[in-house]
Amino acid sequence: MRCRRCDSPQIQRDYDDATTLITLVGMRKLLCNTCGYVFHGFDPFNILNRTPAKPDSGFSKRRLNPRYHTHLPTAISLINGTPSNGNGKVTYTDPSKGHCETISKLGMGLSLVGSRFSAEELSEVGRLLFVRIDLPAATMEGVVSILDHERLSENKKWFLAVKIHQVSDTDKAKLTSYLDERSKAQPLIHRD
C-alpha cells in the first residue's frame, strides 16, 4: 500500500478510528508517515498498526539541495578566535590555494594541499574557515565550518566537507545564480 499524495510506502493506521460501518467492510483511516496525508484504505485483516512504519532505508541518503561537481579555484584561510568572545575580533591566516570540488546551496567539498596548516587544524570539526571561490562570472566569499575531513594521500592532500556558516546576501545571490546555471547545464551528482 502506498500514499495517494506522495507515493510513499510508509503507511500506518491513523490515530482517529473510522466509523464502525466503514470498519466492518475492511476500510481503515490511514496516515502517511512521509507527508502526513490522511486517507481511507482497504485493510480487512488489520495488518497496519498505529505505530510509525519503519523508515525508508533510502530516505537518509536523500539530499535537501542538489550538489554539483565543480573544479573552481579557491583560497582557504583559517579563522582564529570567535566573534562571540567579547571583543568580536578574529584573525585570518594567509590563504592556502585549493579547489571547490562539489557545491550546493548548503555546503561544498574543498580540496587543498594543507602544507600551510597543521593536521589538527584541518581535522577539527566545527572549525571556521574563510573561503574565496572564483565562480565563472564572479567571486564569492563566505565563512564555512568543517563537517568532515579526509586525508587523501601521503602528499598532505586534504578533502574537507564544509557547510556554509555565514555569507552576505550579495554572495548568496551569486551562488544561487551559479547553481541555477549549473542545473540547466549539467546533471546532479547521484550516490548509490
In the predicted model, residues of the chain with pLDDT beneath 70 are: 17-23, 50-64, 82-88, 114, 153-155, 186-192
* 28-48: pLDDT as tens digits: 888 887 778 888 788 877 777
What pTM, to 2 d.p., does this model score?
0.63
The C-alpha cell at 190 is 547521484
The answer to whether residues 107 and 164 touch, using CB atoms and an 8 Å cutoff, is: yes
The pLDDT assigned to 188 comes to: 53
Residue whose cell numbers read 567571486: 139
Give which of 79, 15, 20, 80 is closest to 52, Cα–Cα.
15
The pLDDT assigned to 100 comes to: 94
The pLDDT assigned to 84 comes to: 58
Give which of 165, 119, 132 is closest to 146, Cα–Cα.
165
CB atoms within 10 A of CB 98: 22
- Amino acid (one-letter) located at 106: L
d(CA 41, CA 64): 30
d(CA 151, CA 103): 20
Q: Return all residues near 115 (Cβ < 8 A) that are at least 6 apart.
A: 96, 156
Residue whose cell numbers read 575580533: 89
Question: What integer best gives the mean pLDDT of the chain?
Answer: 81
Complete DSSP assignment for 114-141: GGGS-HHHHT-TT-EEEEEEE-SS-EEE
The pLDDT assigned to 192 comes to: 42
d(CA 68, CA 51): 38
The pLDDT assigned to 186 comes to: 62
